[in-house]
Amino acid sequence: MHAIRVRCRLFARYAEVTGEVVVEVDVPAPATVADAIAALRARLAEGHRLPARPLVARNRAHALLTDPVSDGDELALLPPLAGG
């Protein structure tokens, strides 16, 4: 079983509560967005302060928690949006 390395980016309040902006996590293949987020929450000391089901983007496009992730993907955890 090989591992998938995912680059996770944290923004705004999520960066503030965790003290991190970029974290790489490894998850066993095959894996979903939700698996990577679970690994991220477990990895960080303050990971429990991130929602288990956040709004998320994969490779700069909105994604579902059930979407698959591939090695080298970039996931972004998006706090509630406030543009406009």
> At its nearest, how many Å lie between another protein and the CB of residue 55?
9
Q: Which residues sit opposite 23 in a β-bridge?
A: 8
The sign of the CA dihedral 34, 36, 40, 42 is positive
Distance CA 82, CA 84 (A): 7
> At its nearest, how many Å lie between another protein and the CB of residue 25?
18
Q: Tell which positions 18-57 bind another protein, by CB under 8 A.
A: 46, 48-52, 57
Residues engaged in binding another protein (CB under 8 A): 9, 11-14, 16-17, 46, 48-52, 57, 60-62, 76, 78-84
